[in-house]
Chain A
């Protein structure tokens, strides 16, 4: 088990290293002639007005919220799905109850109109 995670760790390190090395090589090869106009932020030829941060609408948060809840609930269903072949019928029914609770949440959000992108 641990050596499997070691492999994943090594793989991740290499996966991070390959683009990093490529970027470094390109950084060495590439010319460096900065000037203030080139380095200005790309905003339709205008100076950046204010901080780059602007207000976002709450819809992003709502999607994130629904996603979070669904993600957590689904992840909890994975142990159930792994054991699916071994659990008796009532165990499957429990999983179904779980899915129904999940679905009722979706219906609530839908009826509330929180899923509309306006």
Chain B
């Protein structure tokens, strides 16, 4: 039997690692990876809360939220990577600091 707070701690740790990466990574693909890590941390939390607090009542909100996060993660990866590729094509860089112009 695993206590609920173990899951919360794990998720907090993953979230903080992801946050660190999202802020400091130079490579924009790396930033995207970090954001995906943060989304995963959120998912762990949601499913843990579902299992411990909502499942006894048959409440499905957490599960639907997890599905939404999956979809958002997929959409974000698709569009984000497409933007990175497009930016790379026009400016030959994927370093986020160098993408400082709004022109395409």
A interface, CB within 8 angstroms of B:
58, 61, 65, 68-69, 72, 75-76
Contact = CB atoms under 8 A, between A and B. Distances in A.
A38 B89 CA distance: 38
Contacts of A65: 78, 81-82
Do most interface residues of chain B lie in helix, strand or loop, or is the interface mixed? helix
Interface residues of B, number: 9
Contacts of B71: 72, 76
A72 B85 contact: no
Do most interface residues of chain A lie in helix, strand or loop, or is the interface mixed? helix
Contacts of A75: 70
Given A72-B70, A72-B71, A76-B67, A61 B85 contact: yes
Nearest to B74: A72
Interface string B49-89: 00000000000000000010011001001100110010000
B78 A68 contact: yes
B77 A68 contact: yes
A61 B84 CA distance: 12
Contacts of A61: 81-82, 85
Contacts of A72: 70-71, 74
A57 to B, nearest CB: 11
B66 to A, nearest CB: 11
B104 to A, nearest CB: 16
A13 B92 CA distance: 43
A75 B71 CA distance: 10
Nearest to B89: A58
Contacts of A76: 67, 71
A68 B78 CA distance: 8
Nearest to B86: A58
B55 to A, nearest CB: 12
Given A61-B85, A72-B70, A72-B74, 15 more contacts: A58-B85, A61-B81, A61-B82, A65-B78, A65-B81, A65-B82, A68-B74, A68-B77, A68-B78, A69-B74, A69-B78, A72-B71, A75-B70, A76-B67, A76-B71
